[in-house]
Amino acid sequence: MAYQDLNVWRKGMDLAEQIYQITDQFPAAERFSLTDQMKRAAISIPSNIAEGNERESFPEHIRFFSYAKGSAAELETQLLLCVRIGYLSESQITSSLSLCSDIKKMLSAMILSLKEKARKTNLNN
């Protein structure tokens, strides 16, 4: 299956788009710090899903999907920080936090499935 067909990749793309829109509201002084960090984390999610999906082995799939999951957790933290420092309200991050949660759950399920497939493959060899 092509990575573009994965629901988790599509959600990652939606999230990245949201983060670009959200961070456009930040003060200019944040352009090279929190804004940049959030955009990098958001971009990392679908990018690592795509790269992992194109890799040839289960361990590589798992590694890149794990990177994507970590980036989603990083982005959640950054969104929550934005609320704490007054850049965003809780209502402004609700959709993005929901996408982060969905993505992490989907990636966890994919990683678990890949680990099981890898285990079964190793048993049959």
Residue 123 pLDDT exceeds 80: no
Mean pLDDT of 50-55: 96
Average pLDDT over residues 6-20: 98
Q: Can you tell me the mean pLDDT for 5-11?
A: 97
Counted domains in the chain: 1
Q: CATH number of the domain at 49, please.
A: 1.20.1440.60
User: How open is the CA angle 46-52-54, to the nearest 5 degrees?
Assistant: 105
Q: What is the pLDDT of residue 120?
A: 86
Tell me which residue range forms the domain holding 27. 3-124
